[in-house]
A and B are shown apart, each in its own frame.
Chain A
Amino acid sequence: MHNLSDDLRRAFISLLKSPAFTITSVLILALGIGANAAIFSLVDRVLLRSLPFPASERLVVLWGHNTLRGGLTEPLSAPDFLDWQREAGTLEGMAAVESDGLNLTGGAEPESLPAGRVSWNFFRVIGVHPALGRDFTPEEDRVEGPRAVILSDELWKRRFGGDPGILGRTIPLNGVDTLVVGIMPPRFSFDHYMARASIFLPISFSHKQLDGRGNHFFSAVARLKPGATPAQCEAELRGIADRLAKEHPNTNANYTARVVPLREELVRNSKGTLLVLGGAVAFVLLIACANLMNLMLARSARRQRELAIRAALGASPAGLVWSALCESLVLGFLGGLAGLALGRWILAGLLRVLGSEAAAIGPMHLDARAVAFTFILSMGSAVAFGLIPALKAEGRHLADSLKEGKGSSNASHPRLRGLLVATETALATALLIGAGLMLRSLMHLQAVDPGYRPDHVLTSRITLPPYKYGDEAARLAFMDELRRRLEATPGVVAVGLNDTSPLSGSTSTSSYDVGDQQSADGQVALSHHITPGYFRAMGIPILQGRDLAPGEAGVLINRTFALRHFAHSNPLAGRVSLDGQNDPYLPVVGVVGDVRHHGPAAGIMAEMYFPVTARRAGGESLNFFTVVLRTGPEPRTMVPALRGILRDLDPDLPLAGTRTMEELLSRERQGAQIRSILVGSFAALALLLSGVGIYAVISFLTGMRTREIGVRMALGAQVRDVVRLVVGQGLRMALWGVAAGVAISLALGRAVDSQITGVRSWDPVTFTLVAAVLALVGILACLLPALRAARVDPLVALRSE
């Protein structure tokens, strides 16, 4: 083998002599490499890197699972948790996790803090300990134990100026002085279970919770013993669950366990999107490589005579291949460098598009792993696009090539080029179809009727701390006064309260009884507790009957509920109870429209609207609710008035999650929007690259056919005949590609299915439109070379031999 650095230097000098070719190649490669480097950084951070916990592969999440309710996982109850914790031999430790919200008072403004409630051993189980202070003791995890809190680094620095002296002092949380025992390290998060928690408190099961085997309300994280597998753990927990089902058939029948590795659980939501994006940029790189292979083929065809002279002077075939490959490697290296620069820019753009999703991932840049990945990818690409042209360059007939001016039809490799064009068109078609489906999905989400009028609606969450609002009368009095004052505020059109308003993140699903067999069989429905005026405030139509009157003990049901139970009777003659035994039957006073509670992509469920005075499922007290205001002016302008009224009523109560309904809806569509933007951008890039590819190939092939075109014109071909000939050649290649792309899209349908809503993965409209767009791009890309060919002077062409 030659001296490598010498060969690469010669290749570099040779490329410098063809600046247009070199710059074009580097740019094309940089586009493909840059997009891959950026997406790799995301994939690496989210899917590949180990979690920031020691021996994280042994961390698992434990769920309950009711075998009668399909594949859904369910939270755990305190008694089951304790039984599992005590009996599971495959577990080294097991901790409970629940998200909560608390009010921090004592400052100029009360602040509603997202909180994580965890069992005392949680930090030991995950293997992360406070950076300052200590974690919880078992005593602090008892309901009557001392009150302790651990602060996040962010809250400690923001609210307490990073003062280590805060340790050992108390802060008022929900009005209760709570001892600060620790500060977590910077960037610690366990977001999937405790969304951006600022504080961590012991979960401290109440006596009621410890007795309520049917009260499922929290998740559990566990660490497997070394050597134990999630499957072994699940088998063991299922054994325990089976025994508990026999011992407690009322609460535990059909209830079993499911064990999921923590990584799998954490990436569940983003994995599909990232894999689709990874596939998209891989397609872009393949298209770039196909383009580069075409350029290399053209370059070697033009240098056919030079290579033949080298061979005649004694260059070995392997030497010729190697020198051609060296050029590819140098191009790959330069493309990799440019790709890294472009990748940084693309990553910054991606993070901007991802917005809050990116904030959850944390600060990101192209690190050493991304650089290494880019280098490997660049060199791999260089071999991919360089090897075949190098071998083809070597394999030409020496004597033919040495004849001055002899154009060899072999040098143009029309079949190989056609295959490359078809390949890149196929990849671009598949990407465009994916992007088209996501766009159609987004359009569907924007067109879906959420069941309410989101314009001019402001929502804000209020939590009533038990130390002040422990009894129901105080809570109801507060709600009534709040509602009354808001109704009297200029600019407020209607006011309503709801403990589980749409898109608030709160849901309450209950079994119920309407006195028929179907409801007795364990049917469930969403249950809300509202005040009169809620439907007017939200813009939910009352289809039949009327709204609740103040203080009235009645219930409204939605259309789906009415159809389920009162399809053949008058719903207004019906009655609903939460369980038919401990709960009174309330008369149905109205039927309202269906609401997509969980967002436009979610399905419609049966719903029941009880007054705030009615008992909640499980007997839980109503200590948090959402205020819904329909406003005359822009809803955001009403925030100060709302805050002022709340301050007047109770200066210790903060507003939390203040959003307009339009903002909440837009956030729900954000995922689909991001997917559409990202895949659409990569598809546009793919379309551009494949258009350039078709143009380059057709230009080259048409150039090689100049003489043939001259002959055709001498025989009487008109301009239209020549244009038809050239465009037809390009279009044939493109259409083969489109057909292959359609086949790829159909094959990848399942992967796309998880990313779209309201549109089928084989949506004929999208497929047809994309095929038409690709055909149009193919025609446009061929048109310029075709018109150029049509201007060929037949005499000149015939003399070109």
Chain B
Amino acid sequence: MSPRSIIRLEAIKKVFTTDEVETHALSDIHLEIAEGEFISIAGPSGCGKSTLLSILGLLDTPTEGGYTLNGKPVAGLSLSERARIRNHEIGFIFQSFNLIGDLTVYENVELPLVYRGLPLGERRTRVMEALEEVGMSHRAKHLPSQLSGGQQQRVAVARAVGGRPSILLADEPTGNLDSTNGDAVMDLLKDLHRRGSTICMVTHDARFAQHADRTVHLFDGRVVEESLAKA
């Protein structure tokens, strides 16, 4: 039996219009991501990687085309429903970590679970599990400013996985890190993938893109190539 499809994009098009100038950020994107898959989206700066990731993460809507998440179309959903799906189905990992400065590590990881309305006990279990998973449980009471960049990104990963989402969307997760910390975060993502997480990672760094099962190459808003990892 083939793995279940988590994401299916059909003929996605995104056009930005400013002062009567149309910019085609994405054109005719077809993409399917299966459960447990680790896919990377690669391409040069300005090719539409981040726009695609925003659409995948329900932070943006396509101008045209169909988007099905876990078998359900997401076009036309209300803001509130989109927020709910982001909270339940999607885990974000940002390039600049985006931890909230005046919340502790524990509180940052707990935040999506609070929005989900989980009871305190369950939140505590899940937060500690997520922090254990990324090796940051000993820093639970620290503030983000007290951590290194690599440690902050590990906390961001813990926040993303704590909600047990259907898919992790990582936007240049190593972009703000030195090579050592970048490698460590990449190892962490690979480890998560090994344990069953579905990951979609945007990167312009071919060195990191090759860690994925499959790499989708974008250029000028179009998929120009798909490559599978060498066995």
Residues of A with Cβ closer than 8 Å to B?
409, 707-708, 711-719, 721, 794-795, 798, 801
Instruction: Assess the B94–A715 pair: CB atoms within 8 A.
Output: no
Contacts A716-B116, A795-B60 given; does A711 touch B83 at CB 8 Å: no
Majority DSSP secondary structure for residues of B touching A: helix
Q: What residues of A have a CB within 8 angstroms of the CB of B57 in the complex? A: 714
In the A-B complex, the 4 residue pairs with the smallest Cβ-Cβ separation, listed nearest first, are: A716-B87, A795-B59, A715-B112, A711-B98
Q: Contact: B59 with A714, CB < 8 Å?
A: yes
Contacts of B112 in A (CB 8 A): 715-716
With A794-B59, A795-B60 already in contact, the answer to whether A718 and B83 are too (CB < 8 A) is yes
A–B pairs, 28, beta carbons within 8 Å: A409-B101, A708-B100, A708-B101, A711-B98, A712-B100, A712-B115, A713-B83, A713-B86, A714-B57, A714-B86, A714-B92, A715-B92, A715-B111, A715-B112, A715-B159, A716-B83, A716-B84, A716-B87, A716-B116, A717-B115, A718-B80, A718-B84, A721-B115, A795-B54, A795-B59, A795-B60, A798-B59, A798-B98
Shortest Cβ distance from A138 into chain B, in angstroms?
Answer: 85
Q: How far is the CA of A798 from the CA of B94 in the complex (A)?
A: 9
Query: Is B88 on the interface with A (CB-CB < 8 A)?
Result: yes
Smallest Cβ-Cβ distance to A794: which chain B residue? B59
Is B21 in the interface zone, CB < 8 Å from A?
Answer: no
B181 on the A face (CB < 8 A): no
Central interface residue in A409, A715, A717, A798, by most chain B CB within 10 Å:
A715
Cβ of B88 to closest chain A Cβ, rounded Å = 7
Residues of A contacting B80 in the complex (Cβ-Cβ under 8 angstroms)? 718-719
Chain B nearest Cβ from A717, distance in angstroms? 5
A712 and B79 CA atoms in complex are apart in Å by 14
Does B87 lie within 8 Å of A801, measured CB to CB? no
Beyond A716-B83, A716-B84, A717-B83, 12 additional contacts (C-beta under 8 Å) are A711-B100, A712-B111, A713-B86, A714-B92, A715-B87, A716-B116, A716-B163, A718-B83, A719-B80, A721-B115, A794-B59, A798-B98
Query: Is the Cβ of B59 less than 8 Å from the Cβ of A715?
Result: no
B92: chain A residues within 8 A (beta carbon): 714-715
Residues of B within 8 A of A716 (CB): 83-84, 86-88, 112, 115-116, 163
B96 at the A/B interface (Cβ < 8 Å)?
yes
Please, what's the 1-or-0 string for B45-89, where 1 marks a CB less than 8 Å from any CB in chain A?
Answer: 000000000100101100000000000000000011001101110
- Cβ–Cβ < 8 Å partners of A708 in chain B: 100-101
Closest to B96 in A: A801
Interchain CA distance A785-B184 in the complex, whole Å: 40
| A711 vs B115: C-alpha distance when bound (angstroms) | 12
The chain A residue with its CB closest to the CB of B57 is A714
Chain B CB within 10 Å, residue with most, of A409, A707, A718, A801 = A718
- The docked-state distance in angstroms from the alpha carbon of A347 to that of B59 is 58
Q: In the complex, which residues of chain A have a beta carbon less than 8 angstroms from the beta carbon of B87?
A: 715-717
Residue in A closest to B160 when the chains form the complex, CB atoms: A715
What per-residue 1/0 map shows which CB atoms of B140-174 lie under 8 Å from chain A? 00000000000000000001000100000000000
A721 and B79 CA atoms in complex are apart in Å by: 13
**Beta-carbon contacts of B92-115 to A below 8 Å, as 1s and 0s?**
101010101100000000011001
A158 CA to B163 CA, complexed, in Å? 91
| Across-interface contacts of B54 in A (CB, < 8 A) | 795
Tell me, in angstroms, the Cα distance from A719 to B59 when the chains sit together: 15
Q: How far is the CA of A240 from the CA of B39 in the complex (A)?
A: 109
Minimal beta-carbon separation of B6 from chain A (angstroms) = 18
Chain A residue nearest to B100 in the complex (CB): A708
- When distances are taken between beta carbons in the complex, the residues of chain B under 8 Å from A798 are 59, 94, 98
Question: How distant is B176 from chain A, measured CB to nearest CB, in Å?
Answer: 11
Which A residue sits closest to B99, measured CB to CB? A711
On whether the beta carbons of A715 and B86 are closer than 8 Å, the reply is yes
Q: Which residue of B lies closest to A713 (CB)?
A: B83
- In the assembly, what is the distance between CA of A795 and CA of B53, in Å? 11
> Closest approach, in angstroms, between the C-beta of B73 and any C-beta of chain A?
20
Taking CB atoms, residues of chain B closer than 8 Å to A713 are 83, 86
Q: In the complex, how many angstroms separate the beta carbon of A54 from the nearest chain B beta carbon? A: 67
Choose among A714, A719, A794 the residue with the greatest number of B CB atoms under 10 Å from its CB: A714
Smallest CB–CB gap between B218 and chain A, Å? Answer: 18
Inter-subunit contact A718/B115 (CB<8 Å)? yes
Q: Which residues of A contact B83 (CB under 8 A)?
A: 713, 716-718
CB contacts (< 8 Å) of A801 on chain B: these are 96
Complex Cα–Cα for A719 and B112 (A): 14
Bound Cα distance from A328 to B59, whole angstroms = 44
Q: How far is the CB of B74 from chain A (nearest CB, A)?
A: 14
A794: chain B residues within 8 A (beta carbon): 59
> Do A715 and B60 touch (CB < 8 A)?
no
Chain B residue with Cβ nearest A709: B100
In the complex, A801→B98 CA distance in Å?
10
Cα-based distance from A721 to B86 in the complex (angstroms): 14
Instruction: Compute how far the CA of A646 lies from the CA of B129 in the bound complex, rounded to whole angstroms.
Output: 101
CA distance A716 to B88 in the complex (A): 8
CA distance A582 to B168 in the complex (A): 109
CA distance in complex: A116, B87 (Å):
86
Closest CB-CB distance, A434 to chain B, in whole Å? 36
Closest beta carbon of chain B to A400's beta carbon, Å: 13
How many angstroms between the C-alpha atoms of A794 and B53 in the bound complex?
13
A711 to B, closest residue via Cβ: B98
Docked Cα-Cα span, A6 to B87, in Å, equals: 58
Nearest Cβ in chain A — how far from B108, in angstroms?
9
Task: Determine if B79 and A715 form an interchain contact, defined as CB atoms under 8 angstroms apart.
Answer: no
Distance in Å: Cβ of A290 to nearest Cβ of chain B: 23
Question: By the criterion CB–CB under 8 Å, are B79 and A719 in contact?
Answer: yes
Q: What residues of chain A lie closer than 8 Å to B111, measured between beta carbons?
A: 712, 715
**Of all chain B residues, which has the CB nearest A720?**
B80
Closest chain A residue, CB of each to CB of B111:
A715
B78 → chain A closest CB, angstroms: 10
Q: Which residues of B contact A795 (CB under 8 A)?
A: 54, 59-60
* Complex CA–CA separation, A233 to B98 (angstroms): 79
In the complex where A409-B101, A794-B59, A795-B60 touch, is A715 in contact with B115 (Cβ < 8 A)?
A: yes
- Set of chain A residues within 8 Å of B116, measured between Cβ atoms: 716
Closest to B159 in A: A715
- Separation of A735 and B115 alpha carbons in the complex (Å): 25
Scoring A717, A721, A798 by chain B CB atoms within 10 A of each residue's CB, the highest score goes to A798
From residue B130, how far is it (CB to closest CB) to chain A in Å?
13
Contacts of A721 in B (CB 8 A): 115
A718 to B80, CA, bound (A): 6
A414's nearest neighbour on chain B, judged by CB, is B102
| CA gap between A409 and B84 in the complex, in Å | 29
User: A276 vs B80: C-alpha distance in the bound complex, in angstroms?
Assistant: 52
Residue of B nearest to A801 (CB): B96
| Of B60, B98, B116, most A-chain CB atoms within 10 Å | B98
Cα A717 to Cα B83 in complex, Å, equals 6
B contact residues around A707 at 8 Å (CB): 98
* A717: chain B residues within 8 A (beta carbon): 83, 87, 115
Cα-based distance from A731 to B15 in the complex (angstroms): 42
In the assembled complex, how far is the CB of residue A722 from the closest CB belonging to chain B, in whole angstroms?
10
| A724–chain B nearest beta-carbon distance, Å | 11
- Interface members, chain B 158-201 (any A CB < 8 Å): 159, 163
Docked CA distance A714–B87 (Å) = 8
- The minimal Cβ–Cβ distance linking A599 to chain B, given in whole angstroms, is 58
The distance in angstroms between the C-alpha atoms of A321 and B83, with both chains bound, is 46
Residue interface mask B194-210, A partner, CB < 8 A = 1: 00000000000000000
Complex: chain B residue closest to A707, CB-CB: B98
A410, B140: Cα distance in complex, Å: 24
Contacts of A711 in B (CB 8 A): 94, 98, 100
